[in-house]
Amino acid sequence: MNSESHPDTIFLHELRVQTVVGIWEWERKIRQTVSIDLEMAADIRRAAKNDSIEDTLNYKSVAKRVKQFVEDSEFQLVETMAEKIAETVLAEFELPWIEVRVSKPGAIRGAKNVGVLIRRHR
């Protein structure tokens, strides 16, 4: 990553999506809530100077795309879901890097949350 060309980060935290995810037969029959956090490379200087959405990464567009992608998916593992989210967003929004956290709140008795965090470069 070249920190000079992309020194900033745009983030989207706790995007909650209902989807089919899990390895157990009962999980394949229901929709569960996953929580998704994204941290994405950006250079916001031009957008800040011009005060224009056209000059920055539109996080509403990213959220809409990720939500639709995850709702339509039926992954067994959150690891696979995270990897495919990263691939999709990197390619479609032409980002140099992304960090993706996918959580399944309440999946483990006694734990508030469980999930995976990955960082990928284009």
For the question of whether the overall pTM of this predicted structure is more than 0.85, the answer is yes
pLDDT given for residue 4 in this prediction: 53
Query: For 110-119, what is the mean pLDDT?
Result: 95
- 104 assigned to active site: yes
What confidence tier does 106 reach under pLDDT thresholds 50, 70, 90? confident
pLDDT digits (tens, 9 = 90+) for 6-64: 679 999 999 999 999 999 999 999 999 999 999 999 999 999 999 999 999 999 999 99
Q: Do 17 and 64 form a contact (C-beta atoms < 8 A)? A: no
Rounded Cα–Cα distance for residues 53 and 100 (Å): 23
Amino acid identity of residue 57, one-letter, is L
CATH of 8-121, one of 3.40.50.300, 3.30.1130.10, 2.20.25.570, 3.30.1330.40: 3.30.1130.10
The residue annotated as part of the active site, out of 29, 60, 104, 112, is 104
pLDDT given for residue 90 in this prediction: 97
pLDDT digits (tens, 9 = 90+) for 51-99: 999 999 999 999 999 999 999 999 999 999 999 999 999 999 999 999 9
What confidence tier does 2 reach under pLDDT thresholds 50, 70, 90? very low
* For the chain, domain boundaries: 8-121
Residue 24 sits at φ, ψ, to 5 deg, of -85, 150
